[in-house]
Structure 1
Amino acid sequence: MKWKYAAIASIALGLAACATHPDKPAGRDVRIVQPDPAEQAAEDAQVQRVVEGVRMIQQGRIQAAIDGPFDEVAGYYEKKYRGHTDTIFSARGMPDALLYSTVAAKDKHIISSRVIGPAWAMAYWGRGYAYNEMARYDDAIVELDKALALAPFDTQYNIEIGFAYQRKRTWEESLKHYEVAERFARLTADDKNVADMTCKALRGEGYDLVELHRYPEARAAYRKCLVLIPGEPRSLGELKYIDRVAGPEATP
């Protein structure tokens, strides 16, 4: 099932502030899978394979990362869940697991769902990241859409696909994903990375808004980043650029 991000955002935004265990509607099955030790070890091993693939990209072995770790992990889960009737979500931790289970409980089109660990979506993200590094943006979008089908509000995945659309100069689509990335950073990013990931999303928004000539909104995005990370150099540079192309901001 490919999620329609705008269609579900209104549901999810109301839940983001306080994700709690959902009330299960009659006849519906919403489960967060708690793996046994053997399953957890297998999941951890798959996560480590994705991490290995990322290291390979950083070493310049991009195609090898796609053909090796990312394909292996994606294939493992595709085989495991082939023919499965549940809608599957792939969560990083309990906050986004609760978010996805709550959204599933409220979606009348989902009869049964389960929330598993992060490795499956990470593998698709890894392939998308690799294709972005190769400037194969259409291929990146295909893979990142798969990641977002499993984890629609994940900040990292939305940033990555926002970048791909940005490189294709598809500003509105890019902006939509960066906005989702910003809104859900505190639920889907590691605690130590929330400010950094939120700032990346805001810079992506700002760039798109400049290209759309929506300069006041772009300034606001960069300033929000500077609140999170004072003195952040890219935001400061972009604000100076906006002053050059749009003129200094009018003072009251």
Structure 2
Amino acid sequence: MGIISRALAPALLIATAVIPAAAAAQDETFSPDWDAMSGALSERRFADLLRLADEAIAHSPPLEDSEGRRVLCAHSEVEAVLYTALPDPDGQGTIVRNAAPCNLLFYRAYALEELGRRAQAMELMASLTRYAPFRPQYHIEYGYLLAQSGRPEEALAQYRQAIDALELQSDDIDKQHWSAVAQRGIGYALIDLKRWDEAEAAYRKSLDHDPDNAVAQHELEFIARERPRD
């Protein structure tokens, strides 16, 4: 799939939000085998990755609530606080889980995409942007899938949501990395839309965060060649 985090496996262990008793795990003694999934990913054994993710999901807290409450995944304490403060339009309440259930779905979506099952991968990534709306990576990965499926306007919206979500990030290294990735995604979508000047601006912004990136440099050269001249 698009871009996986440089250190996703450790991040999968984050568990900062308080989970209400009514939202307890189906099997509180179960711990996903993150090392096995990370190994399957790094060795490109995507069928194994899918199997491992599915086994873990079957034992993980559900992301649908029988009482109709909204379920969200927090990847940090800041996200957990923000999610509990979000408006509740249905008045049913909100359950804030830790990151693990969403990250398992992310592994599943990644495996599905690599196995050629894009429609299913896209459906999962769309759901992840709802379960964790302040997680920039999910918007970026979903934007990538939309762009690759010939839906640049929708991809652009996801990349811009990622930029907004990055304002909430406290880790400067991650913020720089994902800002560069999101801006490159914006540039890619804008090229598809023939919005050359905006695309150039996006790639130049990406270089502010990642000055030596060869992809951005190449795309700027492409824009210079392809942009219509007055």
Using the size of structure 1 for normalisation, the TM-score is: 0.73
Distance 2:124 2:104 in 1: 9
1:72 Cα deviation from its structure 2 partner: 2.5
**Structure 1: tracts of 5 or more residues without a match:** 1-31
Residue 178 (structure 2) pairs with residue 197 (structure 1): yes
Q: Which stretch of the first structure deviates more once superposed, 123-132 or 143-152?
A: 143-152
The equivalent residue for 2:12 is none
Say what the alpha-carbon RMSD is for the aligned residues.
2.8
Contact 2:19 2:98 in 1 (8 A): no
Aligned length: 210
Percent identity over paired residues = 26
Residue 89 (structure 2) pairs with residue 108 (structure 1): yes
Distance 1:44 1:172 in 2: 41
Alpha carbons of 1:110 and 1:200: their partners in 2 closer, same or farther (altered >3 Å)?
A: farther
Correspondences of 1:136-215 after superposition (within 5 Å): 136-187=117-168, 190-215=171-196
Alpha carbons of 1:77 and 1:45: their partners in 2 closer, same or farther (altered >3 Å)?
A: closer
Residue 78 (structure 2) pairs with residue 95 (structure 1): yes
1:158 Cα deviation from its structure 2 partner: 1.2
Residue 33 (structure 2) pairs with residue 52 (structure 1): no
Q: Which stretch of the first structure deviates more once superposed, 187-196 or 222-231?
A: 187-196
The equivalent residue for 1:243 is 224
Alpha carbons of 1:79 and 1:122: their partners in 2 closer, same or farther (altered >3 Å)?
A: closer
Distance 1:80 1:168 in 2: 27
1:212 Cα deviation from its structure 2 partner: 0.3
Using the size of structure 2 for normalisation, the TM-score is: 0.80
Alpha carbons of 1:52 and 1:156: their partners in 2 closer, same or farther (altered >3 Å)?
A: farther
Runs of 4+ in 1 over 6 A off after TM superposition: none
Alpha carbons of 1:212 and 1:79: their partners in 2 closer, same or farther (altered >3 Å)?
A: closer
1:131 Cα deviation from its structure 2 partner: 1.8
